[in-house]
Chains A and B, each alone.
Chain A
């Protein structure tokens, strides 16, 4: 158990951008919501997955829709808590702990604001261990859990409850409702008990985001570059060092899809890296050979500062270090790969774990 302070929130917002693997929306507005709620309602207690009681009622809260709408039409406090209260009313019990559905980007901090308002703890863990673009891309779905009930709310005090057949229908229907609500909504789904949370939640990811953020912000006293420290922390690999020389983007079906080409420097001189993205970075190839494949995490970091560069913010000339971290083991199962592997995003290659790829390259 730990109380989150203002500095923790700042750090989480930066770490969440790294774990957002290039997408997940700018955590800035999430940070503002969390700081504002804590200022008004008091501090937030964060509990670990082990600390959960088996009969605790745990509910994820997240934002859905267009980041461009969220930064313009900012939620009200009433909107932030309405879907949770509707959920409580429908299932006839009070929420004990809220949790983030994803740790990457803006959704890492929206539930912190709700926890502050309701005076209940936030769970140190999430259901992705990163950011993904679609609602069924959660560990709950991989474990055969259904969203059961989904509640969505807008600022006009509309609250809609749906009982979708499964996670995929939940995504389709919720997205339509969100559009009618003006392109952005607050969502609660996958209300679970403590026992299920212990089985399905990826633990300690808020703390991880906080530690990454602290590494990148704190004054560099150590001689070790923050990127190196981060790789140690996340069991990650440095894939490539180079300069972005070409970027192609296309907006397709509401998603930004494209690729970036990097020309190598230092030990990667003479090599080229191609990075494919759809909101998030999904596939990295060096000299035509895959070196990291979704659902493993790929992040592009500024060579100098180690700060994450988003798929939108990537520009010609960016000096970057491309790194990758192994996804949680749940994503490396057949259903995990089917749900968020390369084929789902229409890339030709088969999923091969990061560690295997790195070993192959080194041989």
Chain B
């Protein structure tokens, strides 16, 4: 049977594996060959009849590529919807890498607060309401390879900075107004900045390690 023709003709029992049967014919090839040997009523055709309308629809569409059970139409529309959603979310300035501010080569004096808030916003597909733009945050800072990373951070009054020791040697975060004492390897230390100002600090064990917390 030529490919693409409608599939109402009886199944050729003698040649169940013919490849030129078209999509509907391929459906019929799923029938077990034993049916050929069945006596009495041949239920094979009834099965074919149930499948046929869909098969006919497929054939009439010219056998377009699609992922069953979704129709091509569904896929196209959802693709456009996702694209547009991502486009507008990105325009909002969502920083998809936000909350944790320590990087290999972080930009100096980055506005971590904005980054963290944008990060929160981008986490969900549906933009959720960011509760309060001034809610206090915990900003993360790493001590890695004998450096504070990032060396300078900007936060708001009331925010907390969390120092994490990613080195194998102990470190401190010490300034005129705060002193962490010895922070062991893998341990953290937090300090909440209640006052605005510039807070330069250092590690008392390694004086060449220097950082600054800028509190606005």
- A and B form one complex: no
Residues of B near any A CB (own CB < 8 A) = none
Residues of A near any B CB (own CB < 8 A) = none
